[in-house]
Amino acid sequence: MLKNFYHTLKNKSFSQKTIPIALLATAVIAFGLLIPELGFYWDDWERILVLKLYGANAFWDYFSTKRPFAAWVYFLFGPILGGNPIGWHVLSLAARWLAAVSFWWVLRNLWPSYKRQAFYASALFLVYPIFLQQSIIVYFKHWLAYSFYFFSLGLTIQGIRKRQKRLAYFAGAVFTELLHLSLLEYFAGLELLRPLVIYLVLKDTVAPLQKALRRSLALWLPYLAVLALYAAWRLYFGANLEDNPYSPQLLSGLLANPFLTLRNLANIGLQDAIYIFISSWHKTLKPGVISLDAPFSLLSWGVAFILAAMLAFYMLRLKDDGEPSLSADRWSFQAFLLGLLAAFLGALPVWVTFRAVSTEGMFTDRFAMACMAGASLSWVAFLEWLVGNPRRRLILLNSLILLGVSLQLRTANDFRWSWILQQRIYWQLYWRAPYIQPNTTILTDGQLFPYVMPQFSFNLLYREPQNYGKGGYIFSYLGDFGRDQGNWLNGKDLEIKYLFFDFRSSTKNSLVIFKEDKTSNCLWILDEEDKDNPYLPDLVRQALPLSNLARINASAKAGHTPPEDVFGAEAERGWCYYYEKADLAYQYSDYEEAAALADEAIAQGFTPASSQANSPQEWMPILESYAAVGRWQEAIEITKTGMRVDQNYRPMFCSTWQRIENRPQTSQEEKPLIAEMYNFLDCSPYL
């Protein structure tokens, strides 16, 4: 049996028609394995908020002041996919694969005899370690635009080679050029690569050189006209925006001080070249990428190694179609220069704004997306020239793919954890605050979960704003409060305007939330009663007077439940469910309900000493509720156990018992018991 299997493998061969399937397998392994566990990130949330609250038609208004023509792609796919993250991830994966296939198609038609190299360039393009974002609703249009650009370029090549259908091919090329420009401007610089591609197709059939150049420019004119009209419109459109973050500062700089501007541009270009071709690979092998303590790290390397081995076997068995009409050295030279130029032209739209594609930021790696194809082609061409032995060259190319795949898998796992944390936090917030009155500011001191700024996700959790982009909630970090505490504490009006959204609130209508893994098991909504918590950062403690728990309603408003297709089914009702609900009941002085919830939690094994419920902060409302209903023994036991767990909570226990003592319902007979707790806690320095 093993002999038959070995014989089958030894004689197995693959035709060139299988290359799109091989690229699909690469894409699925690199980006598809974790799709069932991935969700929404970054600007995905604002698109989903628009879709779920106002419908797909609202995208026309939403994009009207940013990229007005981009609305069509969301208008088309939004109603089909709705708020299902898996559907959007599959669509994004398909768009990425389509970009790789269309890139391969361009290279195959440009150099018909170098199909292997075309495959490697497109496979490397799929996993090139410049772009690592897993956002889907935002970036699927980028991959779609990339695909349209390559299809446009490929149709241009086909139109030159197939004269009988030239008009149809050229019309299709212009149409797909319009499609990619309608989505965004990132790939506009690559349009300047088209005349060189046209020349490379013509030069072997049209002589002399001058005639080939004139013919190339003539064939380029329709595309140039479209590009020029788009550039003029984009400049005019941007100039009329109130706030245009991507204004063409390079053009104004050239007019004001050409020498200094060109020098600075050269500096940006050199730094970006190093980043695009060399330093972006550092992320694949930086210290810590292999860790015996991180099982997924080892798994990512194992999966990447298996894929690289499969691709090596595939390439060794891939059939060649005829002898090359171009020498290997000439091809390497042409492909390297074309790739180099493509990488720089891909950066051009970013350089026009006088930014660098190597700019570090939360999601600035999108600036380098248009450089990926050129960089991949240059690497393949360089190794083709540098390494003469085909087997060694195959090993090197597959090693690059291995590095890229492993990094993409580890990055996807980081995004997976972000989605897990998001779902936990969203449901805990909803349990604690079934409805928050609109025009509330939600404040926190630091990042609740990576790859998200919750301005839009928190609004969708409560299905606000109802008034077509006006109202809702403002999410803010306390850094702004720290710089302007006086005005915030006195009641400062806040406003966030973004596209057609207009969020407004006052700092007097705020909720302070806190979640930190080392000191809390659950999300906390704080107020001034929590000022003695020993683990609150100073800025959070100073902001507690802003927290107005009256903004929270005890029950959800009709129609304001979290959309399940987006947030998933309600999270498991573990300790955090009981804590959040008990804290809500305590807020509304429903002490019987809080005590009943605590009883149920304890019956399920949650105690102040258990690992999942060992934060004394989370037992304070339960302690006070037990005392309020006369269950003093349980209140005392929580205090004693909590002190054994963490004595740093002594001042907070003291202030809690002081509130119990000061309740009008506390009788004189109960005061000696409270005095005993003061003595046990040694509260004299804190009262």
CB 188 within 8 A of CB 230: yes
CA–CA distance, 294 with 317 (Å, rounded to integer)? 36
Q: For the purposes of burial, counting CB atoms within 10 Å of the CB of 680, is it exposed (0-12), middle (13-18) or buried (19 or more)?
A: middle
Q: Which residues of 528-563 are buried (b: 16+ CB within 10 A; e: fewer)?
A: ebbbbbebbeebbbbbbebbbbebbeeeebeebbbe
- Cβ–Cβ under 8 Å, residues 553 and 437: yes
Report DSSP letters for 100-154, one per residue: HHHHHHHHHHHSTT-HHHHHHHHHHHHH-TT------TTTHHHHHHHHHHHHHHH
- Do 181 and 247 belong together in one domain? yes
* 559: containing domain: 433-570
Task: Output the pLDDT for position 343.
Answer: 94
What value does the mean pLDDT take over residues 21-43? Answer: 93
C-alpha 71/C-alpha 14 separation (Å) is 41
Residue 244 has pLDDT above 60, yes or no: no
What pLDDT score was predicted for residue 247?
67
* pLDDT on residue 387: 86
| Four-point Cα dihedral 239, 243, 245, 247, nearest 10 | 20
Question: 6 falls in which pLDDT band (50, 70, 90)?
Answer: very low
Token pair listed for 77: 């796919």
Tally of domains in the chain: 3
- Looking at the fold, whether 459 and 537 belong to one and the same domain comes out as yes
Query: Which of 415, 441, 476 lies at the terminal end of a domain, its last residue?
Result: 415
Q: Can you say how many angstroms the Cα of residue 422 is from the centroid of all Cα atoms in its chain?
A: 13
pLDDT above 60 for 77:
yes
Does 328 map to a domain?
yes
Residue that has been written with the tokens 């419109």 in this structure: 233
Closest CA to 431 of 343, 519, 552, 349: 552
Residues 217 and 283 in one domain: yes
Residues 113 and 256 in one domain: yes
Kindly state whether residue 422 falls inside one of the protein's structural domains.
no
Q: Amino acid identity of 491? A: G
Reduce the DSSP state of residue 512 to 3 states and report it. Answer: strand
At 266-305, the pLDDT tens digits run 888 898 889 999 988 888 887 767 776 778 888 888 999 9
Question: Which residues, 6 or more positions from 661, have their beta carbon under 8 angstroms from its beta carbon?
Answer: 671, 674
**Which pLDDT tens digit goes with each residue over 106-148?**
999 999 888 889 999 999 999 999 988 877 888 889 999 999 9
| Pairing mode, strands 435-436 and 510-514 | unpaired
Going by the DSSP 8-state scheme, the letter that residue 28 receives in this structure is I
Same domain, 447 and 578: no
> How far is the C-alpha of 110 from the C-alpha of 644, rounded, in Å?
74
544, 570, 596: which is the final residue of a domain?
A: 570
The last residue of one of the domains, among 516, 537, 570, is 570
Looking at the fold, whether 523 and 579 belong to one and the same domain comes out as no
Instruction: Give the pLDDT of residue 207.
Output: 65
pTM as predicted: 0.90
Instruction: Identify whether the C-beta of residue 504 lies closer than 8 Å to the C-beta of residue 474.
Output: yes
Identify the band that residue 400 occupies on the pLDDT scale cut at 50, 70 and 90.
Answer: very high
Residue 676 lies in a domain: yes
- Cα 334 vs. chain centroid, distance in angstroms? 36
Question: 499 and 368, same structural domain?
Answer: no
* pLDDT value for 92: 94
Query: What pLDDT is attached to residue 242?
Result: 55
Residues 411-456 pLDDT 10s: 999 999 999 999 999 999 999 999 999 999 999 988 888 888 889 9
464 plus 393 within the same structural domain: no
DSSP sequence for 393-417: HHHHHHHHHHHHHHHHHHHHHHHHH
Q: How far apart are CA 95 and CA 92, in angstroms?
A: 5
Check whether residue 565 and residue 594 sit in a common domain.
Answer: no
Residue 153 and residue 102 in one domain: yes
- Specify whether 367 is located in the same domain as 297: yes
- Identify whether the C-beta of residue 639 lies closer than 8 Å to the C-beta of residue 677: yes
Asked, for residue 425, whether it belongs to a domain, the answer is no
* 5 has pLDDT over 50: no
**Which of 110-114, 148-152, 390-394, 681-685 is predicted least confidently?**
681-685
CB burial of residue 478 (10 Å; 0-12, 13-18, 19+):
buried
Structure confidence at residue 136 (pLDDT)? 80
Q: Is the residue at 166 inside a domain?
A: yes
459 and 403 part of one domain: no
Two structure tokens written together for 468: 């077509």
Read off the pLDDT band of 321 (50, 70, 90): low
The answer to whether position 421 is within a domain reads no
Establish if 424 belongs to a structural domain. Answer: no
Q: Is residue 118 part of a domain?
A: yes
Distance CA 669, CA 548 (A): 34
pLDDT per residue as tens digits for the range 604-662: 999 998 888 889 999 999 999 999 998 999 999 999 999 999 999 999 999 999 898 88
pLDDT at 261 (0 to 100): 75
Query: Residue 245: its pLDDT value, please?
Result: 57
| CATH number assigned to the domain comprising residue 588 | 1.25.40
